């Protein structure tokens, strides 16, 4: 019985990994090409020099929020709200606490660490872009 459970878990894990490698499709927000590199230590991005810092960038559907989780981990989200992504007033912002991303138009709130839904009318998490950091360069890509 344990062998079957382990085998099932391994198959599920591999399925998730293979699906993630093929690209991320969001339930509501369309896929767009994103591919740019920044140097977080550059003075232009001084807010990314510390844990919990964030910056807004152009690109994606409605712009991109890049957030630094720890010294080696960054996340990048599209600023389009999954609830009303076609509305130009529905661009997401980091709230004053720096712990949530909010849509001031519809009231949806999302966890800044993983993009998951906290509350509001949205039923979907944030659209996330891939990040790759080598200690000097941060690449954000779809």
pLDDT 10s digits, 22-51: 445 677 899 999 999 999 999 999 999 999
**Residue 73 CA neighbour count, 13 Å, CB half:** 6
Architecture of domain 32-141: 3-layer Sandwich (2.102)
5 pLDDT tier (thresholds 50, 70, 90): very low
56 pLDDT tier (thresholds 50, 70, 90): very high
Indicate the domain borders of the chain: 32-141
137 pLDDT tier (thresholds 50, 70, 90): very high
Tokens 């969001």 belong to which residue?
A: 26
Note the pTM of the prediction, 2 decimals.
Answer: 0.81
């Amino acid at each position: 019985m344990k062998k079957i459970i382990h085998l099932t878990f391994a198959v599920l894990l591999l399925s998730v990994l293979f699906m993630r490698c093929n690209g991320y499709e969001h339930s509501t927000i369309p896929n767009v090409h994103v591919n740019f590199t920044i140097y977080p230590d550059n003075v232009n991005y001084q807010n990314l020099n510390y844990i919990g810092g964030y910056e807004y960038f152009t690109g994606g559907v409605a712009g991109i929020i890049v957030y630094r989780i720890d010294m080696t981990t960054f996340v990048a989200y599209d600023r389009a709200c999954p609830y009303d992504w076609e509305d130009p007033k529905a661009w997401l912002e980091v709230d004053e606490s720096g712990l949530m991303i909010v849509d001031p138009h519809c009231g949806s709130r999302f966890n800044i660490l993983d993009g998951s839904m906290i509350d509001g009318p949205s039923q979907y998490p944030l659209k996330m872009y891939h990040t790759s950091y080598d200690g000097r360069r941060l690449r954000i890509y779809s």
